[in-house]
């Protein structure tokens, strides 16, 4: 893949990320913000002291302009990185077309980058979590992300190497079992945190976590669908041209 194609896919990935970010923003606003407000109300009601001046940024600004800026900037950056990963993975994950490859890569990314770390260190609303452990929790979360991505790459490599001997189906099962086992060991050895305050509503906690999961699922799925369509418009004409050239009969000299 030449540099011009990579640059074109990078730009389209950023546009797809922006589109996915807009959809994720809608989900975050309607599913997540009400849970954040409820958690803040709980935190204020159970605070041991009340002091300080006005907030530097109002809650209204946080839930509108702040949320929009954060999600959209994240979406554009996410789209660019995912597009570069797509350029590297295309043709290395099986004989899939541009759209199928984009959606497959997006689903694998959702699982490896978000779902696996989320199951070990789920998102918490305000009032949940000890401020003294935030540095440790953040470090362990990103460590879990890195481990999950590396294990996902290792799983793909293992599946491809086992396929000639075991067949695609059996190789996929063995590689999948390796991934689950390795993730399970990481879950067992990495420390866990249970810092939910007493009397914090369990329903609110799980609603917040499900909303966070819904935002990420929307972002990754929308990106896979939109970017797959855009990438196909760049790559498919070249594929068709090669197929036509290959099918064209070779002229015979008189």
- The model's pLDDT over 168-215, given as tens digits with 9 standing for 90+, comes to 889 889 999 999 999 999 999 999 888 888 888 889 999 999 999 999
Q: 84-106 as b/e, with b when 16 or more CB fall inside 10 Å?
A: ebbbebbeebeeeebbebbbbbb
Q: What's the mean pLDDT when you consider all of the chain?
A: 85
Phi, psi of 40 (to 5 degrees): -65, -40
Check residues 40 and 182 and name the one with the higher pLDDT.
Answer: 182
pLDDT at position 49, please? Answer: 52
pLDDT at position 88, please? Answer: 86
pLDDT tens-digit profile of 97-146? 888 889 999 999 999 999 999 999 998 888 787 888 888 999 999 999 99
Mean pLDDT for the stretch of residues 139-159: 93
Mean pLDDT for the stretch of residues 45-73: 73
pLDDT at position 244, please? Answer: 46
Asked if 187 and 167 touch (Cβ cutoff 8 Å), the reply is no
The ranges assigned to domains in the chain are 1-44+64-128+198-248, 129-195
pLDDT at position 21, please? Answer: 93
pLDDT band at 66 (very low <50, low <70, confident <90, very high): confident
- The model's pTM is 0.84
pLDDT tens-digit profile of 71-100? 999 999 999 999 999 988 887 776 778 888
Asked if 179 and 151 touch (Cβ cutoff 8 Å), the reply is yes
């Amino acid at each position: 893949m030449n540099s011009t194609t990579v640059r074109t896919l990078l730009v389209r990935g950023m546009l797809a990320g922006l589109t996915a970010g807009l959809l994720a923003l809608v989900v975050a606003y309607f599913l997540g913000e009400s849970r954040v407000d409820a958690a803040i109300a709980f935190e204020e009601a159970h605070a041991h002291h009340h002091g300080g001046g006005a907030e530097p940024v109002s809650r209204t600004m946080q839930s509108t302009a702040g949320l929009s800026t954060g999600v959209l900037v994240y979406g554009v950056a996410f789209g660019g990185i995912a597009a570069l990963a797509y350029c590297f993975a295309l043709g290395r994950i099986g004989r899939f077309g541009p759209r199928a490859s984009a959606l497959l890569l997006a689903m694998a990314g959702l699982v490896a980058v978000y779902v696996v770390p989320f199951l070990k260190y789920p998102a918490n609303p305000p009032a949940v979590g000890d401020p003294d452990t935030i540095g440790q929790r953040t470090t362990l979360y990103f460590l879990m992300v890195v481990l999950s991505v590396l294990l996902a790459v290792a799983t793909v490599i293992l599946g491809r190497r086992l396929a000639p001997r075991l067949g695609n189906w059996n190789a996929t099962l063995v590689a999948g079992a390796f991934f689950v086992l390795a993730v399970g060991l990481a879950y067992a050895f990495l420390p866990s945190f249970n810092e939910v305050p007493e009397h914090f509503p369990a329903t609110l906690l799980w609603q917040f976590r499900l909303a966070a999961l819904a935002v990420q699922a929307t972002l990754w799925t929308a990106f896979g669908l939109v970017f797959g369509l855009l990438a196909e418009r760049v790559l498919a004409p070249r594929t068709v041209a090669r197929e036509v050239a290959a099918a064209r009969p070779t002229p015979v000299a008189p």
